[in-house]
Amino acid sequence: MAVFSRITLLAGTAARCVHAMNRRGLAMANPTATFKTTKGEFKVELFQDQLPITTSNFKDLATSGFYDGLTFHRVIKGFMCQFGCPNSANPQSPIAGTGGPPGNTQYTLPDGSVIQRDGGGNIPDELVGEISNEVGTISMANTGAPNSGGSQFFLNTKHNAFLDYFDNSTPSKHPVFGKVVDGMDVVSAIEGVPTDGRDKPIDAVRVESITIAE
């Protein structure tokens, strides 16, 4: 996966929008993800009701411990904080920002159907629901090629409307799959850390764990 400076990200086919239902056929509340970081905790609502493929990919990786111990490898004040590369476990790694999940692995959607990641660990594009890249939203990163999102995502710290897949001002297409609902001050603290010339935090900000609540 390319670093964020190259992401004209996620273009491709739209996917099904599956609403999570309980046994009575009523819509259920979206799950949340609580990030425990070295700067504090913040909580994200995952828009599972609108983007089940993307949120289920994230939940599968989070519950497996994939994200535990990784660092924010790219932070740009007034723009975004990027996370999710397995190579960032070593914050000094020169290839942080290029990795993703294991290839040819599977995960399950709320409706019971199974999605298989491709050989590079990438998932299908899910360009559904016109949710803008507003402050506090969490959005998929990719290489710019269709169906190239994997484990990496970013937290918007500015309204980056030009990254919306439905904004035609640029080729960038980043589907938003959640939003911070608590602890935005922690996200702001992460955004404010000193960085080097490659936008890498000088003192690593590590995610210790992500806890999913359904």
Q: 134-139: long-range contacts at Cβ-Cβ below 8 A with a sequence spacing of 24 or more?
A: 134/159, 134/176, 134/179, 135/159, 136/179, 136/180, 136/184, 136/187, 137/176, 137/178, 137/179, 137/180, 138/44, 138/176, 138/177, 138/178, 138/179, 138/180, 139/163, 139/174, 139/175, 139/176, 139/177
Query: Which residues does the annotation mark as catalytic?
Result: 74, 79, 82, 142, 154, 163, 174
4, two tokens: 């964020």
Q: Are 97 and 83 in contact (CB under 8 A)?
A: no
- DSSP structure string for 131-162: ----TTEEEE---SSTT-B-S-EEEESS--GG
